[in-house]
Chain A
Amino acid sequence: MKILIAEDEPITLATMQMRLKKDGHEVSTASNGQEASELIQKNDFHLVITDIMMPFVSGLEV
């Protein structure tokens, strides 16, 4: 599964990334809402896991 994680807290982001990779998923990461929006436009993700409160663009806007 192609998954995008958008999270501004680096350790939480790394934890989720490692956990999902361990389960065999292809994981991309974004550290803010703007970066997440750009990645969504360029890629076809099956699932997006996003934090709500993030810099620049919020998770809800993403």
Chain B
Amino acid sequence: MQITIAFLVLFKIGNLVQPKHFYIAVGCFTGTILLLVFYMVILLLRKKYQVKKQYFIQQALQEWLVDIILEEQKENHLAFDVPRPVSNLLQKPFAKMELLQELKRLKSSLSGQPGQNIEQLYVQLELDKLSVQSLQSTIWYDKVKGIQELAMMNQMVYSHDILLLTNHPHPEVRMEAQIAMVCFHQYEGLRFFENMRYSLTQWHQLKLLGFLANHPLPAEEIVCTWLQSANASVVQFTLKLIGEQHASNYQHMVIACLGHPEEVIRRQAISCLGEIPSDSSTQALQQVFFAEPNKYLQLAILAEFIRSDEKVDPYFLKELALTEDVDVRLAANKVIFQKQLQENF
């Protein structure tokens, strides 16, 4: 059926235009299709050739890399032996790039001495220069790649160059640069907070928290400076950090954040107090409840009361259970029920 329609359409067109023009159009169309097919075949062959070349390089490097990974700590940091066939192979830029990819893959799954050996090899073969080239590129994803490579290979000598990128206009570049700074120097790396022009996204905050999870909080005055930052996302991140680490010694600072003009900070402060529960934090939440203009933050306070084991003033809850707002009333009743259950136990 479709073929018949196509034939009829072609026949109609054939009647409307002169035969000469019609044949030229068909010729052009066929030529374009053939050109496209030819281009696709070339692309596929090129891809196949690259995969083959990649496989060949991997095979050539495999044995040598295994020896390097298993090498015990070298005295006086002696250089690793590079056999002549490998060194000849590494003269080719493609092979060097492939080795860099392989070292990145290995570094992500190895730690301890094998990981250090990979870092040493990376420097010995001057692969850091390739990463710096990427870092200096004007294309954002090349910059990101360069930062990732230097951070992965622990190249702290480039931390000043990376620090300059923590305020880069492109979000991915500044995010990678900030993560690299934390990888290098942990909390000290967060010194970019002092001059931060952009906000930290939620995803970025989570990534940074992940890197800092096993490190104790820095000195109190540093945390205090972050909590007083003009950048709301820095304050939010610090509150998350305090909550994650259950640092109850910062409770008074967190309570002070409950009166912050930014809603996002007040919300984070409520959640943070839920992580470091105490009598004084419960009292502070009760006190700010009626002053809080946002109903959803009031509900967040009540949700924290449900989570916590601390006692809540029964008169406060009874008053809430009689309010006109159905949501607040329901939440208050849930808190009353939860507290009664806790008392019975």
Per-position contact with B for A13-47: 1 when CB-CB < 8 Å, else 0? 01100110000000000000000000000000000
Note all chain B residues with C-beta closer than 8 A to A9: 105-106, 109
Note all chain B residues with C-beta closer than 8 A to A11: 58, 62, 65-66, 69, 102, 105-106
**How far does the alpha carbon of A9 sit from the alpha carbon of B109 in the complex, in Å?**
10
**How far does the alpha carbon of A18 sit from the alpha carbon of B70 in the complex, in Å?**
9
Residue on A nearest B58 in the bound complex, by CB: A10
Contact call A18/B66, Cβ cutoff below 8 A: yes
Q: Is the CB of B114 closer than 8 A to any CB of chain A?
A: yes
Contact call A19/B70, Cβ cutoff below 8 A: yes
**How far does the alpha carbon of A12 sit from the alpha carbon of B111 in the complex, in Å?**
12
Contacting residues of chain B (26-41) with chain A, CB-CB under 8 angstroms: none
CB < 8 Å neighbour of A14 from B62, B102, B109, B114: B62
Contact call A10/B105, Cβ cutoff below 8 A: no
Residue from B66, B70, B110, B114 with most neighbouring chain A CB atoms (10 Å): B66
How many chain A residues touch the partner (CB < 8 A)? Answer: 8
Note all chain B residues with C-beta closer than 8 A to A19: 70
Rounded to whole Å, the gap between the CB of B97 and the closest CB of chain A is: 17
**How far does the alpha carbon of A11 sit from the alpha carbon of B101 in the complex, in Å?**
13
Contact call B106/A12, Cβ cutoff below 8 A: yes
Residue on A nearest B103 in the bound complex, by CB: A11
Rounded to whole Å, the gap between the CB of B157 and the closest CB of chain A is: 27
Note all chain B residues with C-beta closer than 8 A to A15: 66, 69-70, 114
Q: A15-B114, A18-B70, A19-B70 are in contact. Are A10 and B62 (CB under 8 A)?
A: yes
**How far does the alpha carbon of A15 sit from the alpha carbon of B107 in the complex, in Å?**
13
**How far does the alpha carbon of A9 sit from the alpha carbon of B66 in the complex, in Å?**
12
Residue on A nearest B63 in the bound complex, by CB: A14
Chain B positions near chain A (C-beta within 8 angstroms)? 58, 62-63, 65-66, 69-70, 102, 105-106, 109-110, 114
A-B contact pairs, 11 of them (CB 8 A): A9-B106, A9-B109, A10-B58, A11-B58, A11-B65, A11-B102, A14-B62, A15-B66, A15-B69, A15-B114, A19-B70
| Extra pairs beyond A9-B105, A11-B69, A12-B110 (8, CB < 8 Å) | A10-B58, A11-B62, A11-B65, A11-B102, A14-B63, A14-B66, A15-B66, A18-B70
